[in-house]
Structure 1
Amino acid sequence: MTSVREKVARWIERRLPQPRLRQGASGGPRGPVKRIIVFGRIPNPTFDYYLAARLEAPDMPPYEVADIRGRETPALEADGAFVILCRYASPSVLRWIERNAERLSGVGLFLDDDIPAVVTGKDADFFYRLFLWYRALWPLRRLNQHLDIVWASTPHLASRLADSNAMVLPPAPPRALWQAEGHDGDQLGQSNRDVWIAYHATGVHLQEHRFLRPIIEEVLRERPQARFEVFADRRAKAIWQGLERVQIREPMPWTEYLADANGRRIHIMLVPLAPSHVNDSRAPTKRIDVARYRAAGVFSDGQAYGAPTETNELRMPYAIDAWRRAIEQLVDDVGLQEKVAVATRQAVLQMTSAADTGLEVFKERQA
């Protein structure tokens, strides 16, 4: 049953800015594309998971990447350029687009989150909501006058962006992004037969932290060889206090997180997704992180990772007992760990293969 808070949140959400294509937009470039310019808070996982490999595909136009975190936009050649905004825009980028509008071959926006739902949801903290408003929602008032294409990471998210006729662009990571270096090392202690379980969460997953807490407490009590690692922000840390054999880590910048997998292994990685408005639109990108650590993943069944199937991946209903049993089974059975880990690496390899076709809309309109 929908609560009063949820009804109010949905009412507000419907009134937040949404991306819309400019009048006369055709869902493709306006003219020949000489180059692509990607604006974003780069480096970041969104660019790496969705755009980097596609832009390197054969027959794609040359591209360059510009970080929007500076006060001024770097000197860029606008003539014949197609601009892709990766989630966010800054005032300086909006000014640059407006100043060069007649010279551009088009403007596109890529989104991999239901941002209005995050802003009105209950897990994100106040400052992150404010940031999303300022960098992702408020700019749409000006950006919509220039948009030619909107891409969304999942079909469900595309359906939520109905006014923009969003095209679905699923994850397609470069192979180097998930085949970590240093595979011979194992700094998490395989030699003493410790089994490391991890939950690497962002700051918008408080419900999932609370869901996992009793599960991990029971697993650690019943399996003395188990160790647990969790990424937790200021609010989530309190959930994990009082447990032995738990390492609480601070969330880290993207480049550091990529390097973290070099030379060590996590044996079991947990990817729970609470049933929620926000999670309905999520893409299966955590599968890539699981592959990078060569871990056996336990995923929530649902729109992001699919229902339980005949594959060897573990997709579980969002129920405490089911997750506890699955984790304990993986702790006890090294062979099962490897079988499940291989299944996820195969799934990620299929994602990577999808990048070979690049971004089709640009191949037709190259200068």
Structure 2
Amino acid sequence: MTRALIVQQAANPSTEFFILPELEKRQCLHEQYRLQDAPPDDRGEFDSVVFVRYLTPQWRRWVERNRARLGRVVLFMDDDLLDLKAHAGLPWRYRWKLLKLVWRHQRWLKSIGAELWVSTPWLQEKYRAWQPKLVQPQSPHPATSAVKTLFYHGSSSHYDEIEWLYPVIVQVLERAPDLVFEIIGNQKVRNLFAGVPRVQVLHSMDWHSYKALLARPGRTVGLAPLLDSPFNRARSHTKFFDITQAGAVGLYAAGPIYGRIVQHGGNGLLLPMDQNAWVEAILRLVNDEAYRLQLLDGARRTT
């Protein structure tokens, strides 16, 4: 099999819809690098190097040093990135990004004999002088969706609980690739989870919007951690009703708050605030559908 290098700004739909299927069709093994990564030190022995939308001077220098050892060099674009007139009306920051990361490199790309791959017949016709290759998209999504949703819907007053949950979520998502985590939070929460894959941070919303959110199907396990503090001792157990309304099974902090309504193993799980115990309990609930449905039935009968 041949060997390809994909260079991209970050994980993105362009690569998954277009580039990966094309390389698979060509029976190419591939490695993926980000634009900000240092290029590989193996002197560039690749049959193909594909720049997805963007490139940088650092990668240009690497190509120039290793051009004799490279096969094809490719720029792939799925927007009109090479015509400044087409960028009129776009936000100035985005226009500057296009100018810096792709437009100014097109002459260099042509000078080294790079290929142009495009996503649509319109782009293929517009840039026909470059003899671009039209790449057909394929779905990166599995035939049947098996993704499950783990969620925590605490308010900003629960930031200590959110920080406590962070290592739990990281471990769970590493061990359960079919799981996504949903949380409501502000920019501080977004920054906390920025490096964790499959985390969806929702904006805060009013009560009517939140009730509509809970009515949408698709959630699997709801979390209700609670650290011991003077403020938290006055909490109620209403999260039990929210989690059950969402069609999910709850994992609750053991203690007098949730102990008022949750019977461990009957209508949810009550656990001490031990992060390892929460990781294992979440994974059991996610993986044991029969057990989860049994607990959900108990929760619905409680409400």
Q: TM-score, normalised by structure 1?
A: 0.42
Bigger strand share: 2
Q: TM-score, normalised by structure 2?
A: 0.50
More relative contact order in 1 or in 2 (CA 8 Å, sep 6+)?
A: 1
